[in-house]
Amino acid sequence: MSGGVDSSVSAYLLKKQGYDVVGITMCLGVKESGRKRPTCCGPEAIKDAKKVCNKLGIPHYAMDFSKDLEKGVIDNFISEYLKGRTPNPCVDCNQNLKFGILLEKARLLGFDFLATGHYAKIEKGSILKRARDKIKDQSYFLYSIKKDALKSILFPLGNLTKNEVRDIARSAKLPVADKPQSQDICFIPGRNYHKFLSERINKRVKRGYILDLNNNILGEHKGAFFYTVGQRGGLGIGYKEPLYVLAVDAKKNQLVVGEKKDLKAKALVAGRVNLFVEKLPKETHVQIRYNQKEAKCKVFLRDNSRQIEVVFEKAQEAITPGQSAVLYDNDTVLGGGVIDKVVRR
C-alpha cells in the first residue's frame, strides 16, 4: 500500500470480498546523515496508508526495502545509462522487488496472495491480460513477472476504470479518495534525471561529439548519458530540419542524430526474455514503449529462447535499447524482453 487511492481501494475491495487483509508499505529509502540515498514512500505516504488501514480495520506494517531498491533497481538503472541505454526501472521493480522479494516474504509469512493496485488482470491463475481501463493499463510493466508467481497475485482493479476507483473510494469514505496520483519514478522526485545521474555517475560525465549519419561533426553534447533515442530538444544544433537522437554510443561518448525519417527501423532484438506461453504465434503484436500503440509483427526465438527477434509489418520510430518490447495477442500478454539491438535496414 503506497498511500494512494489505487492500492487503498484494492485493500477495501478484498476485505469486502471476505479476505483476511494486511496492509504492507514498502519503504524504499530514507534520508541518512552524510549520505545521499533515494527518498521515496516517505512519512506522508506511510501515514496515508496507515490512515486507510485504520479506516478499514486491518493491520498495517512498513517494511524497509531501501537496500533491495539499490541492488535490484537503481544499480541496473545506472549501469544501463552508462551503456548508452534507456532503462525502465518500473519493470525491474515489479520483477525484483514487488513480485520477487515482497512476494517471497508474503509466502514465508503464510499469506496466500499478494495484491496491488495495478491496472491489469490475471485469469485462470496464469494468464496476464490488459486491464479494462486501457488508458490506465499497466500490463506493459508486468511482463517480466515469472509465470509461476501469477497464481499468488491479485489485481482487484483489473475490471475497473480510474473514475470508478475514485467513486468507490469516496463511497467508502477513504481518506485518500481525492489524493493526486504521482507521476514520478519513486527514487527520482520531480523526474530530474540529469541531477540524479550527475550525482551517481559524477566524474564520468564528459562532453563529446554529435555526429550525423555520415560521421560529420555537428556539435557537442553535455554527456552522452543524458540523452535518449528519439529525443529532439536539448541538442543545441541549428539545422535545416529538426534533428533527433538516433543512437547513443557510450563507449565513444558520441551521439548520432538524423531527421525524423531516420528514426524508423524495421526490426529489433530483445534479451532478458520472459514468456508466459510455451509457443509464440508467428504473427502477433508488440508494444515498444508504455502508452505507445502496439504494432503488428512477426516474432522469432533466438539463442535457445534467450532472445526474441521482432520484425515489424510497418517500420517503427524511436525503438530504444533498454526499453521493453512486450508481446500481445489481443489483450493477453505473451511475454517480452529488453531491447538490445535496433535493425534499421
| Active centre residues (catalytic) | 93, 186
Q: Which three cell numbers, joined as nine digits, stand for 42?
A: 516517505
Half-sphere exposure for 125 (CA within 13 Å, toward CB): 5
Q: How far is CA 329 from CA 123, 130, 235, 278, 335, in A?
A: 14, 10, 39, 14, 10
What three-state secondary structure class fits 203?
Answer: helix
Residue 13 DSSP code: H
- Strand extents, DSSP E, 52-174: 60-64, 114-115, 120-123, 127-130, 153-154
Question: Quick check: 24 and 183 in contact, CB under 8 A?
Answer: no
The distance of Cα 313 from the centroid of its chain, to the nearest Å, equals 26
The crossing angle, in degrees rounded to 10, of helices 5-16 and 162-171 is 60
C-alpha cell at 28: 524504499
Phi, psi at 325, each rounded to 5° = -110, 110
Number of C-beta neighbours around residue 293 at 10 A = 9
DSSP 3-state of 262: helix
Place of cell 548508452: 84
Distance CA(123)–CA(313), nearest Å, equals 30
Distance CA 233, CA 255 (A): 13
Which residues, other chains included, contact 227 with Cβ-Cβ below 8 Å and sequence gap of 6+? Answer: 221, 234, 245, 248, 255
